[in-house]
Chain A
Amino acid sequence: MTFLEYLQSRRELLLAQTLEHATIVLMSVALATVIGVLIALWTYRNPRARAVATGMAAAMLTIPSFALLGLLIAPLGLGYTPTLVALTMYALLPILRNTIVGLSEIDPALTEAARGIGMSRLRSLATVEIPLSWPVILTGIRVSTQMTMGIAAIGAYVGGPGLGNQIFSGLANLGGVNSLNQALVGTLGVIVLALTVDFALALLGKLTQAGQRPKLFRPRPARRPTLTPSTAVPSPSLGGRE
């Protein structure tokens, strides 16, 4: 069976596994974003707390993924949960670190002006500091997404969902009829998925760039400006400006 024939015959299964893969990655990144941003907000003004937080996140990143998944079987069992937890742990560091960097690089004059005109701490964060550090935070999210895409494949080892199942069964049946096709489709699927999601995030970054007529964080919907080509059409490069 050729590669294309294999794709054709397993279309539905592959599609489902791709969706599962994307879902678990996006879920873990979303979780990591919430946790990471919260920890960053909690710690970024205190150098010691900041060092502890980033240090711990970095330590988690050094644990080999096989080992971490294996270790998580004991408390969490097999399947979806340990994979999600492990991925979230890995996704945490880039988001946490970038959020801390983004927040602490904001011009102190701006936070002082925000306080000086009577903004509460929360309002200042929501309308000034987070929107301004958003590009840096988003870069962290993109790095985390790329990284967890690959690690998610290993989740299949503990019964997790996604394209890793193709790779693992291919490796298990080495020499079998479809083993090469399986390993190939799993690997290529992860790569294509990673590129697609990264492209989407880059697009999101373009659309939400602070200072470029921000759309997500505009305080109130003003008269809709006509989209200029520079904001409506993303540049072909995936990297964008970050």
Chain B
Amino acid sequence: MSHDVMIDLQQVNKFYRGQKAPVVENMSMTIQQGEIIVLVGPSGCGKTTTMKMINRLIEPSSGRILIDGTDVTALDGNDLRRQIGYVIQQVGLFPHMSVATNVGLVPKMLGWDRKRIEARADELLHLVGLEPAIYRNRLPRQLSGGQQQRVGVARALAADPPVMLMDEPFGATDPMTRDRLQNEFLRLQEQLRKTIVFVTHDFDEAIKMGTRIAVLGERSKIRQFDTPENLLASPADSTVAQFIGRGARLKQLDLRRVDAIAWEDIPLIQPDKAANGAKRQLEQTEGSSALTVDADNRPLRWVNADDLTADAGALDGAAGQTVTTVEPQATLRDALDAMLASRDGAAVVVDEHGRYAGTVTLDGLMQVIHHTPERGAPGSGVPDQRSGVAPAAELTPEQR
């Protein structure tokens, strides 16, 4: 086993007395250090139970769970939980304790001294974007829902645990706050590189947050375990496809950025160039359109041969079509939007100074969508409901 495996579930089962069918059946999953693994599935599929077995809020009936190589069942449950961050949907801040006291609970149980706890609480509040001087002594009910969940995340991070479990952490907030919390958390994660198990029933959230996503069915059976890109490109069976919902292709566009695909070059017409020369250039390249640019290479307008003949003298004038631009960091969905707004189905990519860098076209976009790694692995892309075989989970995770 390579040493950057952080969490390893080995044939974990959970039975409850009096129930014939197990809640979780033969669950095996390997999670690498620094990944955000999203468990997604319909309610009652056992995803929360699976997550809670990792910190033994629920004891597994059989199987092994290793964290960083140590079998968790060998540890004292409370000690174990102090080393694993835990965030829940209802936040669960203790209403009679100040924000700083809430954040400092785990360090306190670990026996840190008072000074260090206070400093740590301030540091964490700062990290999650709450000014310590203002919020430290507030009570939870004096905070908005979004602020409370920030404190919840800070409390989970207090003792700097390598592993975090998050149970629909942003599920109770309104869509705008949720979006902001998700973005902030992703930014935080780039810094912290925690290993995170994230439970949600919202597939769009799964796509946004997950390094890899495990789509779970009944009894926590893994239907597919793969990167968001692969999941969208080739759902393993019709149930997964159904779960992904409509617009899988459009969702794929959200995952990729303009700088991740190949740009095309189009003829540029410099302002000092004569109209005739420009026309000849257009005819030679057999392209239908060219882009006029200013002295700094900033795109001005789209022109074609007709524009040039009709008004040969007005190259820098009003002839041609307006240009829609995108920056390299924009998502492909933004690029698509820009293309649809332009007559030629192309969006111009500009750098941060607004200078021409290339163009992306609908054709290019189509290619990207259809070239998203389709794997030759057995079962991939082929509905295989009968046996319910999930494609091999060991497929190389392609980092976004």
Give residues in A with beta carbon < 8 Å to B. 107, 109-110, 112-120, 123, 127-128, 131-132, 210-211, 214, 217, 219-220
Residues of B contacting A214 in the complex (Cβ-Cβ under 8 angstroms): 96
From the candidates B78, B82, B92, B105, name the one contacting A112 in the complex (CB within 8 A): B92
Residues of A contacting B92 in the complex (Cβ-Cβ under 8 angstroms): 107, 109-110, 112-114, 116
29 contacts between A and B (CB under 8 A): A107-B92, A109-B88, A109-B90, A112-B88, A112-B92, A113-B86, A114-B92, A114-B94, A115-B57, A116-B81, A117-B109, A117-B156, A118-B79, A118-B83, A118-B106, A118-B109, A119-B78, A119-B105, A123-B109, A127-B94, A132-B94, A132-B95, A132-B96, A210-B96, A211-B95, A214-B96, A219-B97, A219-B108, A220-B114
Interface size class of B (residues with CB under 8 A): 20 to 34
Q: Are B155 and A117 in contact (CB under 8 A)?
A: yes
Q: Kindly provide the distance from the CB of A55 to the nearest chain B CB, expressed in whole angstroms.
A: 27
Give the nearest-CB partner of B140 in chain A. A211
From the candidates B91, B95, B105, name the one contacting A117 in the complex (CB within 8 A): B105
Residues of A contacting B78 in the complex (Cβ-Cβ under 8 angstroms): 118-120
Q: Kindly provide the distance from the CB of A15 to the nearest chain B CB, expressed in whole angstroms.
A: 40
**C-alpha spacing A115/B79, complex, angstroms:** 11
Q: Are B88 and A211 in contact (CB under 8 A)?
A: no
Q: Are A116 and B55 in contact (CB under 8 A)?
A: yes
Give the nearest-CB partner of A108 in chain B. B90
Q: Kindly provide the distance from the CB of A128 to the nearest chain B CB, expressed in whole angstroms.
A: 6
**C-alpha spacing A123/B96, complex, angstroms:** 15
Q: Are A109 and B96 in contact (CB under 8 A)?
A: no
Q: Are B81 and A117 in contact (CB under 8 A)?
A: yes
Task: Kindly state whether residue B230 has any CB partner on chain A within 8 Å.
Answer: no
Q: Are B94 and A116 in contact (CB under 8 A)?
A: no
**C-alpha spacing A107/B141, complex, angstroms:** 14
Task: Kindly state whether residue B80 has any CB partner on chain A within 8 Å.
Answer: yes
Q: Kindly provide the distance from the CB of B216 to the nearest chain A CB, expressed in whole angstroms.
A: 21
Q: Are A117 and B86 in contact (CB under 8 A)?
A: yes
Task: Kindly state whether residue B101 has any CB partner on chain A within 8 Å.
Answer: yes
Residues of A contacting B55 in the complex (Cβ-Cβ under 8 angstroms): 116
Q: Kindly provide the distance from the CB of A125 to the nearest chain B CB, expressed in whole angstroms.
A: 13
**C-alpha spacing A220/B107, complex, angstroms:** 14
Q: Are A119 and B88 in contact (CB under 8 A)?
A: no
Given A123-B109, A219-B97: A117 and B82 within 8 A (CB)?
A: yes
Q: Are B96 and A117 in contact (CB under 8 A)?
A: no
Q: Are B95 and A109 in contact (CB under 8 A)?
A: no
Task: Kindly state whether residue B139 has any CB partner on chain A within 8 Å.
Answer: yes
Q: Kindly provide the distance from the CB of B106 to the nearest chain A CB, expressed in whole angstroms.
A: 5
Considering only residues 171-193 of chain B, those with a C-beta below 8 Å from chain A are none
- 3 closest A-B pairs (Cβ-Cβ)? A113-B92, A118-B82, A109-B90
Q: Are B88 and A217 in contact (CB under 8 A)?
A: no
Q: Are A116 and B105 in contact (CB under 8 A)?
A: no
Residues of B contacting A210 in the complex (Cβ-Cβ under 8 angstroms): 95-96
Q: Are B101 and A211 in contact (CB under 8 A)?
A: no
**C-alpha spacing A107/B313, complex, angstroms:** 77
Q: Kindly provide the distance from the CB of B344 to the nearest chain A CB, expressed in whole angstroms.
A: 55
Q: Kindly provide the distance from the CB of B156 to the nearest chain A CB, expressed in whole angstroms.
A: 8
Q: Are A119 and B94 in contact (CB under 8 A)?
A: no
**C-alpha spacing A113/B141, complex, angstroms:** 16
From the candidates A116, A127, A128, A132, name the one contacting B88 in the complex (CB within 8 A): A116
**C-alpha spacing A127/B102, complex, angstroms:** 11
